[in-house]
Amino acid sequence: MYNILTLNKIAAIGTSRLGDNYKYGDDVQNPDAVLVRSAAMHDMEFADNLLAIARAGAGTNNIPKDKCSEQGIVVFNTPGANANAVKELVIAGLLISNRKVIEGYEWAKTLKGNGAAVGKMVEKGKSQFVGPEIKGKTLGVIGLGAIGILVANAAVALGMNVIGFDPFMSVGNALKLAPTVKLMKSAEDVMVNCDYLTIHVPLTDDTRDMVDADMIAKMKDGVRILNFSRDGLVNSTAVLEAVKSGKVAKYVTDFGTDGIKPLAKICDSDDKGIFVLVKTSNPSSGELQDMKLETNESVYEHMGKMCEGWGEDLMGKHGYSAVGAVVGATYPEQLGEMRAKLPHTFFLVPGYGAQGGGADDVKNAFDENGLGAIINSSRGIMCAWKKQGLTEDDFAVAARKEAERMRDEIVGCIGKIKLG
């Protein structure tokens, strides 16, 4: 029997190929192999019996390959497994960047309730969403692997001129490429000569921030940039400034980290941490945080998922990242739900004491080792002297006594704290 640890959700189409002599799951102990998608593994300790780590995807920057090499652990990836799906997403992004689809959709929602007048309103207003045609325009593709080739060939079929660059292009991939695709001598040659740019390379020290302020300044005015490859390839601050100035017409990506990314860099460089509001303890928090998105998940669920993603490259010794989440003690059910869904996100839990939260409410914030949360009590400790019938002169003594009582009550609910 082989034990397979899954660090992310792995599609059943993959796990179904494992036979009866394999046991797999996210709670497997002493694994012989690991299946991983995006979870950061750099701070993980590997047992002597670990034989292999399989990345469900192409990039392996979340796996400590040097450490694995030293310990004789085989690391392999699965390039091309989702290539067609990503190609279709890129083509959709290409059209979105051009045709103001999202703007038109948002505008159309404002017409609700106008009855028979909607038709005339659409005819009058639709011209504001006109965009240029992609036919005859130049698409630059950096990275001509499994995905890049499919994107390039699809763009050719749509009537675009395609230029590309890949310093590691194999003969096999070259033979799959449409003959009209023009290969350039460098990534810069592609970026300064294209109307649209799409990037399909792994994140390495050489490719990080390959699209920065200096490179954007060399590009055509009104260039449209697509990044469905890796967060970090495009400098978010630089590209947002370029969008504001009009230098970049559109930036389309599935990495929405611009608000947190600068803070995450500080966490990494200065050994700091941040907390993001997810499900706060105040009674009216649900007015926004419980709202349902089009995916049928709530705002707080989506924010929690984003926290888990932001922290993937900032993992600490005990399996928690530097990006934490604020989840209130007054919502114990959601607290337990978030702990199950966010195994690597540290919680700051307000609402204990004066707001009504107790030890039974906050116990779900902790993992099986009694780790993973800081419980906050402000008024309960600061005003403890009043509750204890003392004077302000006894503030420190009363505060200490209340803090110790709170500690003992919580530990009594969660059991022992294990750091090993």
The least confident of 68-77, 191-200, 281-290, 340-349 is: 281-290
Pick the CATH number of 83-92+133-253 from 3.40.50.12280, 3.10.180.10, 3.40.50.720, 3.50.50.60: 3.40.50.720
Contacts of 237 (CB under 8 A, 6+ apart): 258, 261, 262
The mean per-residue pLDDT over the stretch 218-224 comes to: 96
Given this model, what pLDDT does residue 195 score? 97
Band the pLDDT of 247: cuts 50, 70, 90: very high
Residue 261 pLDDT more than 90? no
Given this model, what pLDDT does residue 202 score? 87
Band the pLDDT of 420: cuts 50, 70, 90: low
Residue 241 pLDDT more than 90? no
The least confident of 168-177, 184-193, 374-383 is: 374-383
The least confident of 37-51, 149-163, 281-295, 357-371 is: 281-295
Residue 282 pLDDT more than 90? no
DSSP string, 162-188: EEEE-TT--HHHHHHS-TTPEEPSSHH
In angstroms, what CA-CA distances link 223 with 88, 184, 193, 296, 406? 21, 18, 10, 34, 58
The mean per-residue pLDDT over the stretch 263-278 comes to: 82
Given this model, what pLDDT does residue 160 score? 96
Architecture of the domain spanning 261-414? Alpha-Beta Barrel (3.20)
Architecture of the domain spanning 2-77? 3-Layer(aba) Sandwich (3.40)
Task: Say if CB 359 and CB 350 are below 8 A apart.
Answer: no
d(CA 147, CA 143) in angstroms, rounded, equals: 8
d(CA 302, CA 288) in angstroms, rounded, equals: 12
Other C-beta atoms within 10 Å of 381: how many? 21
Ranges 90-94, 104-108, 290-294, 355-359, most confident: 90-94
Given this model, what pLDDT does residue 257 score? 53
Residues of the chain with CATH 3.40.50.720: 2-77, 83-92+133-253
Other C-beta atoms within 10 Å of 239: how many? 21
The mean per-residue pLDDT over the stretch 169-177 comes to: 90
Q: Which pTM was predicted?
A: 0.57
Please state at what angle helix 332-341 crosses helix 299-310, rounded to 10 degrees: 40
Both tokens of 138, joined, read 């130049």
Other C-beta atoms within 10 Å of 378: how many? 13
Tell me the average pLDDT of the chain.
87
Contacts of 212 (CB under 8 A, 6+ apart): 235, 238
Task: Say if CB 160 and CB 139 are below 8 A apart.
Answer: yes
The mean per-residue pLDDT over the stretch 282-306 comes to: 83
Q: Which amino acid is at 46?
A: F
In angstroms, what CA-CA distances link 326 with 78, 83, 270, 276? 36, 36, 22, 6
Which tens digits make up the pLDDT trace of 310-361?
Answer: 888 888 878 888 989 999 888 888 888 999 999 999 999 888 877 778 888 8
d(CA 366, CA 372) in angstroms, rounded, equals: 5
Residue 41 pLDDT more than 60? yes
